[in-house]
Amino acid sequence: MHDNLWKALLRDFWLVAVLLIIGNVLIAVSTPLAQWVGEPAFAPWGLFFGGSFVIAALSHIIRRLFFHPLSMQRTAAEALKSPVGAGFVFLGICIVLSAFVLVMGGTLRL
């Protein structure tokens, strides 16, 4: 069971790394870019988009850690056969992930 978890995390390494890099670059350049353009209102938007990429990466890792036996692709395939059961599983995963996104989003405030 743990071997499958590590394989899944290693398989997703590049996706998570790219999301984190994009998010951190957007966060780092948002204020200097807004100052360079001369429009300070752009800075919060860069922070928001960068934070969204970081939250997406972290929520992907959290989903793998908590729901590693579940595959979203297999769940979607099962939804075509029996939409009620697979829908409840998918809804449960979305509810848990949205709770983590709300918690992580609150920590982004300065």
What are the boundaries of each domain within the chain?
A: 2-107
Give the 3-state secondary structure percentages of the chain, helix then strand then coil, rounded to 5.
85, 0, 15
Interacting residues of 102 by C-beta distance below 8 A, sequence separation 6+: none
pLDDT in tens, 5-43: 667 667 778 888 999 999 999 999 998 988 898 888 888
Of the pLDDT bands very low, low, confident and very high (cuts 50, 70, 90), residue 49 is confident
Q: For all residues of the chain together, what is the average pLDDT?
A: 78
What is the model's pLDDT at position 2?
Answer: 56
Most confident of 5-9, 15-19, 88-92, 103-107: 15-19
What is the model's pLDDT at position 81?
Answer: 79
